[in-house]
Amino acid sequence: MSKIKVLIISYYWPPSGGAGVQRWLKFSNYLHEQNFSITVYTPKNPENPVTDNSLLQEVNNEINVLTQPIWEPYNWYKKFIGHKKSDKINTGFLSEKKKPKWAERISIWIRGNLFIPDARCFWINPSVKYLEKYLKENPIDVIISTGPPHSMHLIALKLKRKLNVKWIADFRDPWTGIDYYQDLMLTKRAHNKHVRMEREVLTSADRIVVIGEQMKVEFGESFKHKIEVIHNGYDDKDIPKTVMRNNDRFTLMHVGSLVPSRNPLLLWETLASICNANPIFRDKLAIHLVGKTDVSVIHAIEKFGLKANLIQTDYLPHKEVLQLASSASVLLLLLNNTPNAKGILTGKMFEYLALSKPILSIGPVDGDAAAIINECKAGVTVDFDDGANLKLELEKYYDLYKEKKLFIETSNARAYSRKALTGKLASVIHKMLN
């Protein structure tokens, strides 16, 4: 049986680190094991928020990686907001340093209105020119584009029109429905252009893949017939074989970026209240934030008198961060308090499932994340403004910590392994080609 040839267009690829790279690194490796021939197209010199050289070792040697130079306007942006050329640009309006407010507002307006759909738009036409020539000499069966950045979808859209090849558009996050879309200060003209581009992609793609049920609903009835939900997941190879135990501190740990819209003021307020009532709880409490954290989060923790309880760890290689997460008493899943909160499904949630530690999620109790946590019996979800229930759950987990009973047995978590999810993706590809 001949192999199905797939071209994956992804901005994020090792040595890029962070959440954006995991989905298609894992899919690529497991598709290769399932009789697919994989070619990945990615920038030679991207502006990566973080670098993780350990991920290079995970790329299967038989995956063909094509790279081309990209020009992005970030050096100008860094200079404008007073950052060094070597500073990294974070995603989702996360700022570890204070920026001049006037410069920040002007740069956001420019970003939203001049660089459409995103700052990688200058890579679209050079990529189409390069790939059109490459694909005529090296035919493939399927193109898969993954966004954001959504410029990757526009590369695939143009190739689809030129070569009439089958195309799957994978959305790891929404486009006009993303949590920070309203912060881009878009003019009516710019908004209409985003909407038009998004609709062209949704209309032209042969299949659309999304990471959750809510996103499928938000894309609308018109596209329901060709949308497939394939969640993010965890890779068994990444999960530590031995779980670290930490009985010295009652450790609430959050892994990943903490942007302003994820800053859980109610959590800090509730923890401060418990600490004031129970000095022993204060002595035992540790708030461990692993990854990029916005300066507003640190200020809030200090405001509520919890600075002495704070532990910060910057970005770690992927497997190291999971080993560290296994030492937590409770794993925090903090969702963006934004209009699209019900559909937010962060990749780390699925890795939390595999670590057998309880999850405390703050977000909509009727959202996609809450449904999966409930399905897997992996923890609890507390609504953004439900302080009374949050206090009860924290005190419950603290009592379990004292009894050394903070290991849980999840159910149905195996459905979210990367290998099982790749089988679902392979089925979508086969059906589309047949």
pLDDT value at residue 94: 42
Domain of 331: which CATH number? 3.40.50.2000
pLDDT (tens digit, 9 = 90+) per residue, 44-70?
999 888 889 999 999 999 999 999 999
Does pTM top 0.85 for this prediction?
Answer: yes
DSSP 26-73: HHHHHHHHTTEEEEEEEESS---SSB-GGGGGGS-TTSEEEEE----T
Decide if pLDDT at 188 tops 50: yes
Range of the domain at 281: 236-414
Residues 277 and 393 placed together within one structural domain of the fold:
yes
Residues 261 and 249 placed together within one structural domain of the fold:
yes
Residues 304 and 202 placed together within one structural domain of the fold:
no
- Could you count the other beta carbons within 10 Å of the beta carbon of residue 297? 24
- pLDDT, the chain, mean: 90
Number of domains comprising the chain: 2
- Among 90-99, 218-227, 304-313, 321-330, whose mean pLDDT is lowest? 90-99
Q: Which residues contact 3 (CB under 8 A, 6 or more apart)?
A: 35, 36, 37
pLDDT value at residue 220: 84
Decide if pLDDT at 388 tops 80: yes
Residues 240 and 360 placed together within one structural domain of the fold:
yes
Residues 252 and 300 placed together within one structural domain of the fold:
yes
What is d(CA 257, CA 252) in angstroms, rounded to the nearest whole number? 15
C-alpha 390: how far from chain center: 25
Q: Which carries the bigger pLDDT value, residue 315 or residue 151?
A: 151
Q: Specify if 82 maps to a domain.
A: no
Residues 215 and 240 placed together within one structural domain of the fold:
no
Of 33-42, 109-118, 350-359, 410-419, highest mean pLDDT: 33-42
Residues 197 and 257 placed together within one structural domain of the fold:
no
Q: Which carries the bigger pLDDT value, residue 241 or residue 345?
A: 345
Given pLDDT bands bounded at 50, 70 and 90, which one contains residue 353?
Answer: very high
Residues 139 and 218 placed together within one structural domain of the fold:
yes
pLDDT value at residue 114: 84
- Among 196-200, 224-228, 323-327, 409-413, whose mean pLDDT is lowest? 409-413
pLDDT value at residue 97: 56
Residues 410 and 423 placed together within one structural domain of the fold:
no
Residues 253 and 298 placed together within one structural domain of the fold:
yes
The fraction of the chain above a pLDDT of 70, given in percent, is: 92
Residues 247 and 229 placed together within one structural domain of the fold:
no
Burial grade of 139 (CB within 10 A; 0-12, 13-18, 19 or more): exposed
Q: Collapse the DSSP code of 100 into the 3-class scheme (helix H, G, I; strand E, B; otherwise coil) and give the result.
A: coil
